[in-house]
Amino acid sequence: MGSIKSLKCRECGREYEPQFRYVCEECFGPLDVTYSELSVNRHTFESREKTYWRYFELLPIKDKSNIVSLNAGLTPLQYADKLGERLGLKNLFVKNDSVNPTFSFKDRPAGVAVSRAKETKLKAVGCASTGNLASATAAHAAKAGLPCYIFAPSDIEHVKIAQALSYGAEFVAVEGTYDDANRIASIIGDSKGYGIVNINMRPYYVEGSKTLAYEVAEQLDWQVPDRLIIPVGSGAMLNAICKGFEELHALGLVDSVKHLKVVAAQPHGCAPIVDAFKRNSDEVIPVERPETIAKSLAIGDPGDGLYVLKRLKQYGGIAEEVSDGEIADSIMMLAQTEGIFTEPAGGVSVGVLKKLVEEGKIDKDEKVVCYVTGNGLKATEAIVGLLPKLTAVKPDAAAIEATIR
């Protein structure tokens, strides 16, 4: 049996039974899952399944029979020596979540939330999405045998729509921004009692993303990195990763996390958290019309924006942005040095890393983990302009050989 204890308000600390709720009745603050005291050690997880469910005791499911698994997680932590050499870093690692079953990190939170929906016998699930979460939720819903409703901006990448629809989800293409889709999903989820994974199931959903901390720690032989580069949309993943490292420390699985530094990476055109950080303000001013090739990060009103700013203060962090051109260049650089093809969100984290190294804000000896969260095949249009033009040649080996250097 799992060890979920309560839902605790992040603001006022009030605790609730772990039921179908997501905001505090007292102060309307967000709720986080808390767990009963655990007895685990570094060897607990060694011989378990190679998915993020290896950390079952630290996830909000009571009974293993309710797990809906597509075998996501335990993705490669690649020692990026070639990219590190290019950037001037000696200890760079890329956490490559582009190889998950639906090709993004969203398989983690979606899998946990759909499992929780199954456990609490909800009749349907859904999500508001910029694309990746749509596919992850729809795939897990298909595995669980639950109806699935996707609410997304009508201008998201077509390949992401096709992927989500292939799993049998019903797609509601909203004319407007992600925030418009989010508002509609919230209203419909509450009125029909559906589990909208990133809204009314958010306390459980965000727990999936903290496994990105657990895996990195385990893959580094239970060492805490010096710095994390994390792409930020809503901010939920960054906050969850910090929570994950803190939980590992509380359990005695890793040493102090006090030296850990966290970088929030956003695309220019939708960087409200970066703007607030650079103004030294606690107010995150929403971006009404996001304009960026990094559509998976185009969340103008980030739900966890204030908590990202708190984490940056807590961990001596930095928030930085990169342009569309820098994102595209970084996608190509990562592919051509490490053989990892990422969508623009990964280009954002690599681009911000490059920028901070050039500005002398990251030391060459730091152990850096750069998170790559989605697969480049989902957004090939982002780099089309940088690719060589193809010209057909006649099937004459001698003529072709003469043109090859």
| DSSP string computed for 173-228 | EESS-HHHHHHHHHHHHHHHT-EETTTTTHHHHHHHHTHHHHHHHHHTTSPPPSEE
The rounded distance, in Å, linking the Cα atoms of 68 and 197 is 14
> Do 152 and 134 meet the contact criterion of CB atoms below 8 Å apart?
yes
Helices (H), 234-373: 236-250, 272-278, 305-314, 324-338, 344-358
Q: How many CA atoms lie within 13 A of 200 on its CB side?
A: 22
Burial 240-259 (b: 16+ CB within 10 A, else e): bbbbbbbbbbebebbeebee
pTM of this structure: 0.96
> Do 337 and 92 meet the contact criterion of CB atoms below 8 Å apart?
no
> Do 89 and 366 meet the contact criterion of CB atoms below 8 Å apart?
yes
pLDDT score for 1: 53
Residues 6+ apart with CB under 8 A from 64: 2, 56
Strand pairing of 4-9 and 31-35?
A: antiparallel
How does pLDDT run along the chain (405 residues), one tens digit per residue? 568 999 999 999 999 999 888 999 999 999 999 999 888 999 999 999 999 999 999 999 999 999 999 999 999 999 999 999 999 999 999 999 999 999 999 999 999 999 999 999 999 999 999 889 999 999 999 999 999 999 998 888 888 889 999 999 999 999 999 999 999 999 999 999 999 999 999 999 999 999 999 999 999 999 999 999 999 999 999 999 999 999 999 999 999 999 999 999 999 999 999 999 999 999 999 999 999 999 999 999 999 999 999 999 999 999 999 999 999 999 999 999 999 999 999 999 999 999 999 999 999 999 999 999 999 999 998 998 899 988 888 999 998 898 888
pLDDT score for 101: 98
The rounded distance, in Å, linking the Cα atoms of 291 and 294 is 9
- The three-state secondary structure class of 170 is strand
- What would the DSSP string read from start to end of 48-74? S-SSGGGGGGGSS-S-GGG--------
How far is Cα of residue 24 from the mean position of the Cα atoms in its chain?
Answer: 25
The rounded distance, in Å, linking the Cα atoms of 352 and 345 is 11
Instruction: Give the torsion through C-alpha atoms of 263, 320, 374, 158, to 10 deg.
Output: 160
pLDDT score for 105: 98
The rounded distance, in Å, linking the Cα atoms of 391 and 393 is 7
The rounded distance, in Å, linking the Cα atoms of 236 and 306 is 11
